[in-house]
Structures are given as structure tokens and as C-alpha cells.
Structure 1
């Protein structure tokens, strides 16, 4: 995106991979929920995470040791100009799909066009910015763009490429747009070898995988077999791990990490406990407020909900108070907003929207804080804001508006997330003191995907992971088109010209300084918009690992993230 890649032309492997790692063995992971599809590229159905991760390749691959560093994979090279008005990818000779057939430009062209027009909404934003897609050589494809967006060559380089023939309906293939449990044929290191619908999916390494000797992949994808087991409940999955049925357990709760691993397998060395630090942004983990609902349209109402959420007390109960609170969408990184009034380039970017910005965006916004024992002061302020917004308690203490409607709403949650459920329940109890009735509704994964795709919820838990290279995905998270179009990740219904402008400034920045300012400005607008009730984050990943699994001493800057487990791990007794 800026400058030059960190690795030289003749690099041997990615810096956090072990090129001497042994091959073989089996990894078994636990997932909570279920799945009903093996096509992760469409809106319909819920597909296992591993399908895209393990079976599919793109033209470029990402190094997770540098924020904007991509390297050729299916492509052998690329060419662009200084303004990034176009990009040309030259396909690598010898690339093959898992069934042995060659990867051709026809497959690449079909993948781009079909995913851009029939695929999941996350692919459509970039597709609309392509003015033309044309062959300019035997193995070279050229994209010309309709508008400035310096990230587009990188975004296109990461688009999944799949085999066209499998979706050729005229030749007996299946429809791409239909959810199916038939595996997708692609060129990645693994293929689906066994499926128990909704319960498990097993991936087997492709024999004679064509890319095994590429420097980018040296030391990666070392296991012979990777299996995902699905559980409906977190506690049942944890018991399966303790019984030796699961290879790795990621512990997300600091309190459990401190008191739940005094078990024989840890004492005798069959399981070891490791902590993996990272330098990535905190992202946003919390309850997202659906502002499409008239109930939540007023920022004062949303601020009142934030005031009612006694984070300090709830954090102490749920995590033992060990985890810091998420202070912003890009906190824990250089991209996060700075405290106090906006200054310098950040102030300049926000100035044209000064009249419309929510309170706190320019002058500085911070989350409410309680003393962890009593939240009375914050509740009083919440009641004042609710009264300003037209909500008053009746004789029974129930909060009502001028039309007599009670302040009631539903918190929609996925089954099996005990920690989230207990947090939501504590929040609902706190709201009763304000005369607000919140009902916690638990549903299965299929219903959850369907309802959130349609934005059929008042409030729901979600995790918005952020990277050190944010870009076009922010349109999917906060873009105005996602207010009405189903399937975006704009759960909060954000519709703000300032947000659109900050994202555009990120995509057109030519220096790292301007880019950082644009992200910090976006962070300010989102936090001041009061679109989510933030929970906590961990600056380390806590992992309980079977003793026969190993990873390199050199860690990527992203830590335990995509690109780490299972990619650079290996099995060795």
C-alpha cells in the first residue's frame, strides 16, 4: 500500500514460518454452532471457516508480519501505475486445482465476475469500481478502475479463485448461488475429505500440491489432516478438549485461564499453556445497537444505554477484572483515536462535517466509568438524557414515551456463548433500574445468520475484528448501502456522510501519515456515534495446546490470527 514490501525478491519463507518444519500429523479444532453449506462465498447458508482458509487460494498472499504486505501466489507477478488506476496480474504457470486440472485465466475471470455479481455482498463493493476486465496476454489479466482507490489492487489480489467448470450448469454443474454441501474445487493446500453435516468437516492435504515449494508457503500448511468438530455448547467443547479429543483450546476468559486449568493433562505435560502476544487493534467486541429501530435513533438514548452498562462491575464478575475495556474500534494500536480534542490532520478531515457530527467527535469522547460498586451517578445521567429524548417513568416505574409506549427491546444472541449470555443478562438487570425491559433471546446459528442478514434484531452481540491495514471492508461494516441491503456487516445501521468521507480518505491516501489520520478520524466518528456497547479485549491470546503441536519462536505482529494456527504450526511427538 505504501513503500516497498519488507521481504527481498529471493526470500526463503515468511519470517514467522519454519521452513524446516516436519510434515504430517492431525489437528482437531472445536467450533461452537453448526454449518449447513460448504460454499462460503454466497449469502445463503453458514459455511465452516476452514473452507476458505484451507482450500482456496488467491492471486496474492498476505504476510501477517507487515500491515500491507502481499506477495505473488497464483499470480507470478503484477504491474500497476503510481496512481493505481489499473492493475495487471500474470498467472503463474503450473497452478492446478485439487482435481489436477490447470488454473486458467477463464477461471480467474469467472471467479471475479461471479462473486462480484452473485456472491456475498462483501465482494460487490470492489466489483462496482472495475471499469473493465480484459485479457492482455496469454496469462495476463488487466483491471481498469472507475475511481481512485489505492487499495483496489490489493483487494483484488486477495479475491478467492475457484474452478469455473464445477458451476457450469449447462454441462451438469451446480448453481453457484445455491447453498450446497458439495465441496468447492479450488487450488489450495487442502480439500474436503469427509463431512458430517452440521457436526464435523475434515480436510486432507492435497497430494502433490502444486504450490508446496513456493517460498511463500515454505513451512506452512504442515498437517496431513485438519478436522473441525462442532458443539452446541462451549462447556461441552471444553470437556472434549480436556478429554484429549481437541488439539488446541483458545481461552477467551482470563478468569477461567487463572482457575480452570489445574487438570492432570497440564501437570503431566500432555497439555502446555502458552500466551501469544499481538500488536493488532482491539477491534470492537460488544452489543451492537440497531439504529434502524426508531427506539435507538436518538444518540441520547444510546448514550443512556452506555451509562447503564456497568462495565467495571460486570468485567470483575465475568473476567475477574483482568481484561482492559475496548476504548475504541482501533484501540491498542497506532491507528486508534487519541484522547482530547481532534488536532492537526484529523481535525481538518472532520471540519467539513462539524455541524452534523455527534457530540464528542471533535471535542473528544470517552466511555462512562463507574466505581465498580454502585452505578448511581451514571444512572442519574442516563435518566436525564432519556427524559430529554422524551422518555419518562410511569407510576409503576416503567419508562414510556409521549405515546405511552414502553421502552422494551430484545437482545439477540447465539446459543452456546455462556460468557456473552451472562454479560447480556447482567446488562438487562441493570436496565430495570431505569424502567427499561430488555429480553435476552437465544437462537441457533442458522436462525442467527438469517436474522442478522436481514437486520431483524434490536441489539446483538458481534465482534468486529480490525487489522493494521483497514480499507474497503470498512464500507461493508459502516457504509450507507448496508443500511438497507441485506447481508452487509453494518449491524448498527450506520448512515453518516462523515463516515463515508473518512473511509474514502483512507482509500485515497498516498502517505502513511494521511492514512493514519483518516483512520483516527473514522474511529472518533464511530465512537461518538454510540453504535455499540464495548466489552473487553485481551492483548494476548491464551492457548492450551497438546504437547505434540508446535509453532515457531518468531511470532507475526498479528499474533494468534489468520496466518498463524494452523498455517505455521506442525505436529511432532
Structure 2
């Protein structure tokens, strides 16, 4: 059965005549808050539509991560922690439904209230909300968490703090956050900040705490045991405070979750085949079709499940560091795109089974349209004419190869562009007028066999252009560290994007943090057009204007030639033990940590 995974969003879109509903005369408390219109679920909803409220509790599962970890604090910039922790051990005031573009429902907070213009938002805590040690979640904890994460936490949390004019307690269980700029999304972003326990950190260095000092959360799971770099064991809290609230019914059903760490993906896959792991996600369609026929699959002990979705493609590929030569020149970046023989590489790695990403929001209504910019999109681009990369107004499409290994026509075009940019072949080596070699380092993570294969093919093409290329494969900690330090020329890159893009766009490609270590803007985009279009997107007063602003942004980013895109993950693929069960309904966002294992259950 193929579920109608766009069913929920159709209802939302059909009712949208404006991105924001007309302001009501007085603010009122509500059970949820939507970026567009009203929440789809009524105040008396029983559970999320993609959860099974009758799902049984119990069972132990084992998942695998590649690399290692040196921190169990996912909220600070320092160190590498298991990515799952912030999803399973901690909670925010509101929780996101992945069956709607961007809607939040009460989690730690029982209700939310905003000003008509959303210049402030007020949350009222549930009286029974508790941390895993049994202590209540208080307004003091909320205020401390916002300030601490905003000043000492990971960069992903700091942007909001700069936009907060004040945060105060207005009732015994109520906190109000007032903003210093007009941005209606801020009320939702505030609802998604993780809440930590203030008392735990009194007199301690939050940003530099040692491995054994694990943040106490209010989530369904807590860290039960661990061995540094080898495993982390999470146990479901038998006294979890929120087991019966609507947002949590039918979720977090597994008793024990163990995360084992492996040196690379190949070893992890062999462990899964041997029955040491309960489930894996597969991102390669060809491998899914050809290598998942081992005995456990044939016996029916392992099930292959495909999970469709309706979200944008996002951007996956190899990002170029534009902060320094040679990638500060768009002609060089276009030459790199021309030399990347996607059709041949895709056929080699995925069997040609996965479509190429064509822009950041491709596959959705938010994606740029082919041909010259027209209508409102052209109007939004016009003020930045002098700042736009070639093709943004006229129309731009990624280079297409001829499918052969040599890719001669595109190599000739690449050579011409490099010559125009001042790079010529001298004694078989590409050099500029100062005699400097065109030499780049590609940074990959150990175990990235697909990236390694792609680079082996790409290297041969670049060598034909006289480019020297050095591919470095490092462990996960080094990979994260060097990305944070911006120590790369070319590196693997992934940014997932939603049906409701917002302030996170500033983190991904805004100029404010372009040169800050730890930035999410790995390519180093510093463009007035990009900044202005993000502002226009956030200030949109109609659905049509919002779509136009996003399409315009998509044009500028794609024509900027910052990333060499690869294939789109057009469907989620999960191979799992037969005992792992899933609900019949799927969210529009498809698979993710909020879906598997969050709403799955174990049943003998």
C-alpha cells in the first residue's frame, strides 16, 4: 500500500490565502501554533496522525553510527556527540508535527499565546513536567536555557538570542519572550529550544564540561551507560512524565536503544547482515536493489521498507570553500561543475537509479522555475542586479555530460573558463600568472565509499585539466573539527530543507556568520542578494510572495555555483528486523529520527 503522504498538506494549502492569518483582536491561548494559518489538529486531538496510540511498549533495539564521539552534550560547540541524543533525551516547550509544513503542539508547555503581530510569545508550562531525575521543569529552567544556549551553546542556538528583547516570568508557570524585530517565525523557533536543568550547571562550565557530565533532560530516554567511542545505551524512563500527553501517545515505544559505533559504513553494514543491528538506513538505490538479498532478507527476518515523502530535495554534494582562491571566482566553480561528470558517476555508484538534485528546493513548489525570472521573482531580484551571479536572472541549469567517461565537450568548456579566469597549463600543470599551482584538498570522512568512488572518477577529469587534487579521508571527529575550522577546499555537504524554510536559512547561507568557525555556511556565501531575499522570505505577507521569495533565493544560490550537487534522496529506505513495526500513516516529511524509531514499536 502506498499512503497518500500529501494528504495532510493538501488540507493546509487549500485553506491558505495568506501565509499569515489576519490578526485577531486579542491574543488567546492555544494548544498549538502554525506558521501558516491554523493548526490542522483540534485541541482535543488524541495523538499525532502518523503515530499509533495503541502501540505496545517494550523491546530492545541496536542502531549503528560510524566514527566515534568524545562528548555526550549535543548542545555545545565543543566535541562530537551522538547525533540522536538531542532528539531522544531532551525536550522543548512545543513539539513539531511532521505531518504539516510547520506546526507546533504543546509538549513541556500546555499552551501558547502570541501578540497579534507575534512580537511576543508566551508559554505556560505543564504542572507535571519533570526532568528525568524527578525535579520539576520550572520557568527558571526555561529562562536559563534560553540565555545559556544563546550565549554559550552551539551556533545553531545563538541566532535566536540576538533577536530577543526580553524574557520574563509572567505567572507561576508562564514565561514570555519578547522579540526586537518583526519576524513572525520567531515565536515558533522559541518553542523549539531544548530546555535543560539550571541547577545541574550551577558552578560548572557548561561549554567545556567533560564527557562524563551528561546534561539532564526531560525526554523519554536517558543515558543509562556508555563506553567512550564504542557505544551509548539509552533507557526509556519508566517514570517519564509525558507518556500520556497527546503529542507523545504512540511515540517513544522502545524500552532500550543502544547505539554501537563502527569505523566505517562497510563494517556497519556487515554487522547488520550478521544480526548485530536492528535497523539501518540505506541512501544508495543501487546498493538497496543489489546488496540487500542476504539470507536474513530471504528468510523474512529482515524487512525492506520504502518511505516516500513530499519535502524539497535540499542540497547534497561537494561544497567549495569560496573564502579563498581559486573558488572565489564563479568561473572556476562553473569549471569544477563541468568537470564533474555526474551522469557517468551516478551510473557507476547508484546504477543511475537516483535523480540529480537540480536546485536547493527542487522537487517542491518552492523550487526555482526554468528559464528567465519573471513576475514577482524578477521584481525581488531586480534590486540586486549588480550582485547576482550569471544566470540568476537569465536562467541557469546545471551542466549535463554526454554520459561517457571522457566527457570531452564539458572538459573543453571547463578549460575555456579556467583560461578566462587566468589559469593556464604550464608544463602539464594548471597555474595562474604568478606561477601558483591549481592544487586543492578534498576532505572526506572515513567510510564514505561513495564519496571516495566519486572522487576517484573526478580526479581523473581534473588531472586532464592540469589540476592537482589531494583526497584526505579522516575520522568523524577530525572531519567535524576541520569543517568547523573551515579547513578544506572541497568537502562533502548536506543541508536538508523543509516545506517551510525560515530563519535557519541565515545559518545556512547568511553572511553574518560566513567567516565564523563552526558556521553552517560552509561555502562562505556573503551575498547582499542572499541576505535580502532571506529577509523578503521572512517578511512575506502572502503565500504567493513567500513562494516567490523562496524561488528567487533558490535561483541565486543555485546560480552561485557553490556546491557540486549529486543525487536526490527521493525516498527513504529502511531495512529492519521483522519485529520492528510501523504505523499505517506516513507524515509528509517521510523518514527521519522523528519517524523511525520515534513512532515505531517492537513486537515479537
TM range (shorter): over 0.9
Q: Counterpart in 2 of 1:391?
A: 423
* 1:508-549 deviation digits (Å, cap 9, x = unpaired): 223222221111111111001000000101211122111000
Indicate the SS of the match to 1:21: coil
Offset of 1:234 from its aligned partner? 0.9
Q: Counterpart in 1 of 2:597?
A: 566
CA RMSD of the aligned region, Å? 1.1
> 2:210, 2:157 → 1: CA distance?
17
Q: Counterpart in 2 of 1:342?
A: 373
Indicate the SS of the match to 2:513: helix
Indicate the SS of the match to 1:142: strand
Offset of 1:176 from its aligned partner? 4.1
Q: 1:103 aligns with which of 137, 143, 146?
A: 137
For the pair 1:191 / 2:222, whether they are aligned, the reply is yes
> 1:179, 1:423 → 2: CA distance?
38
* 1:429-464 deviation digits (Å, cap 9, x = unpaired): 210111111110011112112111111111100111
Q: Counterpart in 2 of 1:93?
A: 127
Q: 2:310 aligns with which of 270, 276, 279?
A: 279
Greater mean alpha carbon deviation, residues 174-183 or residues 446-455? 174-183
Q: Mapping of 1:14-53 within 5 angstroms? A: 14-53=48-87
Indicate the SS of the match to 1:506: helix
> 1:514, 1:8 → 2: CA distance?
28
For the pair 1:419 / 2:453, whether they are aligned, the reply is no
> 2:205, 2:439 → 1: CA distance?
45
Q: Counterpart in 2 of 1:66?
A: 100
Whether contact under 8 Å (1:2, 1:510) holds in the other structure is no
> 2:105, 2:538 → 1: CA distance?
20
Offset of 1:179 from its aligned partner? 4.7
Offset of 1:553 from its aligned partner? 1.0
* 1:6-25 deviation digits (Å, cap 9, x = unpaired): 10110010000001101000
Indicate the SS of the match to 1:481: coil
Q: Kindly tell me the number of residue pairs found equivalent between the two proteins.
A: 569
Offset of 1:315 from its aligned partner? 0.5
Whether contact under 8 Å (1:64, 1:557) holds in the other structure is yes
> 2:392, 2:465 → 1: CA distance?
27
Q: 2:91 aligns with which of 41, 57, 65?
A: 57
> 2:206, 2:558 → 1: CA distance?
42
For the pair 1:556 / 2:590, whether they are aligned, the reply is no
Q: Counterpart in 2 of 1:249?
A: 280
Whether contact under 8 Å (2:87, 2:594) holds in the other structure is no
Offset of 1:79 from its aligned partner? 1.1
Compared CA separation, residues 405 and 231, structure 1 to 2 (3 A): same
For the pair 1:321 / 2:352, whether they are aligned, the reply is yes
Indicate the SS of the match to 1:136: strand
Whether contact under 8 Å (1:2, 1:511) holds in the other structure is no
Q: Mapping of 1:388-537 within 5 angstroms? A: 388-394=420-426, 396-537=427-568
> 2:208, 2:553 → 1: CA distance?
34
Indicate the SS of the match to 2:386: coil
> 2:593, 2:226 → 1: CA distance?
23
Whether contact under 8 Å (1:414, 1:445) holds in the other structure is yes
Compared CA separation, residues 324 and 179, structure 1 to 2 (3 A): farther
State the TM-score, normalizing by the size of structure 2: 0.93
> 2:493, 2:234 → 1: CA distance?
28
* Unmatched segments (≥5 aa) in structure 2: 1-34
> 1:256, 1:511 → 2: CA distance?
44
* Unmatched segments (≥5 aa) in structure 1: none
Offset of 1:84 from its aligned partner? 1.2
Whether contact under 8 Å (1:45, 1:179) holds in the other structure is no
Offset of 1:256 from its aligned partner? 1.1
Indicate the SS of the match to 1:115: helix
> 1:244, 1:494 → 2: CA distance?
45
* 1:40-79 deviation digits (Å, cap 9, x = unpaired): 1111000111210111000000000001110011111111
Offset of 1:367 from its aligned partner? 0.3
Whether contact under 8 Å (1:84, 1:153) holds in the other structure is yes
State the TM-score, normalizing by the size of structure 1: 0.98
Whether contact under 8 Å (2:78, 2:207) holds in the other structure is no
Indicate the SS of the match to 2:225: strand
